[in-house]
Each structure stands twice: as C-alpha cells, then as structure tokens.
C-alpha cells in the first residue's frame, strides 16, 4: 500500500472519529497525522480532495453546492502546494550549499594554517575567528634564525568573496623572493599583486612586521590597516601603533612608510583586525580603550591566554554574535 492509500484511509478514520465525538484527542491525532503527510510531501490540494471525497461517502445527500465549493478551494490552494514543494527543494539546495561551504572552510583552514612560533625571547599569542564559516582575515608567521615576521591581512567584506581574495595574498606572499623581507618592500610587492588581480571594488588592508629577537627591534609598516597598540612596560601605558599607507589593490606603485621601535622587556605589541575594534554592543561600537583595559586585566597571563580571554570577553559583550572576522595577535618581550 502506498502512502496515498494510507493517507486516505487514515484521514477517513480520524475524520469520522472527530465527527462522532468532537474530541480534542481526535483533533490532536489529526494534527499528528498531518505532520506525517507533510513528511511524505503531500500537497494541501490533495488533502482537500480526499476530504471532499469522504464527505460525499459519509453524507450521500450533501448539497452539490457544498461539494462544488471544494473545487474552488482546490484551485485556491494550488499555489500553496507549489510554494510548499519549492520550499522543500530550496531546503535541499541550502543543505547542499552548506556542506560545500563547510568543505571550503576546511580547505581554507588547511592552506592558511600557520603555527605560532615558540621562542625564549618573545612570547607570541594569536587568535583568528571568522564571523561566518569562512575567514576573510589572514595571519602568518615566518621565522628565520634572527627574526620572526608577522603578516596580518583583512579583506574588505567577509565570507566566500573575502576568502577567495585571501588566497591571492597568501600566494603573493609565498612567491616573494627571500631577499624581500623588509615590511615596506613586502607591502609594495603585494600591492602590485593585488592591484593587478583584484576588481576595483575589492581591497585588502594589511599589517606587516619583523621582530628582530637578537636586538629586540620591531620594524613594521601597514596598508590602511586598523592601528594596533604598543604597551610600554616602563610607563605601564598604551599608545597607538602609528602607521600610514593606502590599502592594497587600489593604486599602482605606492610606497609605504616603515617604522622602527626598540622593544624593552615587558613591552607588548598588539596587532588586530577591525573586527576587534568594530565589535558592536547594544550601545554601538566598543571603545578602543576596552581592548587595552582587557589587556591590562590579563597582563599577567601568557600572550596566548591573553588573546583567547579577550576574544571570549568580546564575544560575550556582543551576545555571541560575531559581526566581522576577529583576529588578535600579541608579541610580548620576556
């Protein structure tokens, strides 16, 4: 017996029961049965037709006008049935897209993966969490015998379009010759790559820094990137990590200004994406001072613990709704 036959006999039984006893139980059973028929993708017009047929059987003297009115109802309900089937197929399609995105996210995780350097001279912490499945922020560490380079990039927008652009920066960086490792040179080269390959409405902001752990000198430059912070351990105060420079991908042949800083024991360099500072609560954007206050609160912890705690606090501040990709990196001289 296929479901159509089960549907008709089941519906008849429940309807008869209800007509006989007008009970809540019969109504409830009717509703449960309706659920089953929805699962079998039965359209509403089909139910109406069954209802009409059963009425005819139960009440042979029923007025013809009443039965005719069901034809009208069937016609009326036709588009509801179609809308329901369309909804079903869109739901299937959504599921498909969702699993594709999940696959893309794991591919991205794999090729953007970078391990956080462990070092006796400097303690490093980093966290990057996408607002959606796919991350439009990107960070990377490159180590050699005397320095650690850090790159932090943020593509305008988020999700898949941002991730596609991100691959460009990643491969742009991979294909730079070893001789190019000064922050301003790196940015100038990547700007050329971005300018040549990106649509004019896409751009990327980026911070690039090199920490020389023999001399404890931090050299950095940025392309329109959200300013980080510098924590001076002697004065126990924060200041903005000043940079100047146009975003990547907008204009050819741009030069970037490079900054140098001597890092003393206990000093911290804080780099972030605008997803951190543009976190929003009910009262609007958070103040940058909230970030520095949080760093102060956790200053006794390791760099990795600091960034993770700050992420959890800000996530909570925003009611666990991340609006933009969130990346926070801290270098702390030991």
- Please tell me the distance from the alpha carbon of residue 105 to that of residue 162, in angstroms, as a whole number: 12
Of 53 and 261, CB closest to another protein: 53
Q: Does 109 bind another protein (CB under 8 A)?
A: no
Joined together, the tokens standing for residue 9 give 């006999």
Whether 193 contacts 156, CB under 8 Å = no
Select from 49, 114, 302, 304 the one that contacts another protein (CB under 8 A): 49
Of 86 and 251, CB closest to another protein: 86
CB of 52 to another protein, least distance (A): 8
How many CB atoms lie under 10 A from the CB of residue 245? 22
Select from 21, 75, 100, 144 the one that contacts another protein (CB under 8 A): 75
Per-residue b or e along 4-17, where b marks 16 or more CB atoms closer than 10 Å to that residue's CB: eeebbebbbebbeb
Of 2 and 145, CB closest to another protein: 2
Site track for another protein across 81-100, x = CB under 8 A: -xx-xx--xx--x-------
Could you give the count of Cα atoms lying within 13 Å of 266 in the half-sphere of its Cβ?
Answer: 10
- Please tell me the distance from the alpha carbon of residue 304 to that of residue 119, in angstroms, as a whole number: 13
Joined together, the tokens standing for residue 134 give 């796919």
- Please tell me the distance from the alpha carbon of residue 189 to that of residue 255, in angstroms, as a whole number: 10
CB of 87 to another protein, least distance (A): 9
CB of 85 to another protein, least distance (A): 5
Of 46 and 313, CB closest to another protein: 46
Q: Does 78 bind another protein (CB under 8 A)?
A: yes
Q: Which residues bind another protein (CB under 8 A)?
A: 45-46, 49, 52, 70-71, 74-75, 78-79, 82-83, 85-86, 89-90, 93
């Amino acid at each position: 017996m296929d479901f159509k036959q089960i549907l008709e006999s089941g519906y008849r039984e429940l309807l008869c029961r209800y007509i006989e006893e007008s009970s809540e139980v019969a109504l409830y059973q009717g509703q449960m049965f309706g659920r089953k028929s929805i699962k079998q993708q039965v359209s509403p017009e089909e139910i109406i037709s069954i209802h009409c047929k059963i009425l005819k059987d139960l009440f042979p003297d029923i007025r013809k006008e009443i039965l005719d009115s069901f034809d009208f109802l069937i016609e009326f309900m036709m588009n509801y049935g179609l809308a329901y089937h369309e909804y079903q197929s869109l739901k299937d399609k959504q599921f498909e897209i969702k699993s594709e995105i999940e696959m893309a996210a794991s591919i991205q995780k794999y090729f953007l993966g970078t391990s956080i350097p462990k070092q006796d001279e400097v303690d490093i912490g980093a966290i990057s969490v996408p607002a959606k499945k796919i991350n439009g922020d990107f960070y990377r560490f490159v180590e050699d015998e005397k320095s650690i380079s850090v790159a932090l990039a943020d593509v305008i927008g988020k999700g898949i379009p941002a991730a596609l652009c991100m691959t460009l920066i990643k491969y742009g960086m991979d294909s730079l010759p070893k001789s190019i490792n000064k922050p301003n040179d790196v940015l100038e080269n990547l700007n050329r790559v971005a300018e040549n390959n990106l649509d004019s409405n896409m751009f990327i902001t980026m911070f690039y820094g090199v920490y020389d752990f023999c001399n404890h000198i931090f050299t950095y430059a940025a392309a329109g990137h959200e300013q980080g912070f510098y924590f001076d351990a002697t004065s126990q105060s924060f200041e903005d990590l000043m940079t100047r420079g146009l975003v990547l991908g907008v204009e050819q042949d741009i030069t970037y200004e490079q900054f140098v800083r001597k890092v003393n024991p206990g000093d911290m360099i804080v780099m972030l994406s605008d997803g951190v500072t543009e976190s929003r609560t009910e009262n609007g954007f958070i103040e940058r001072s909230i970030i520095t206050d949080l760093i102060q609160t956790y200053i006794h912890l390791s760099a990795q613990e600091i960034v993770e705690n700050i992420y959890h606090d800000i996530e909570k501040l925003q009611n666990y709704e991340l609006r933009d990709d969130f990346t926070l990196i801290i270098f702390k001289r030991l």
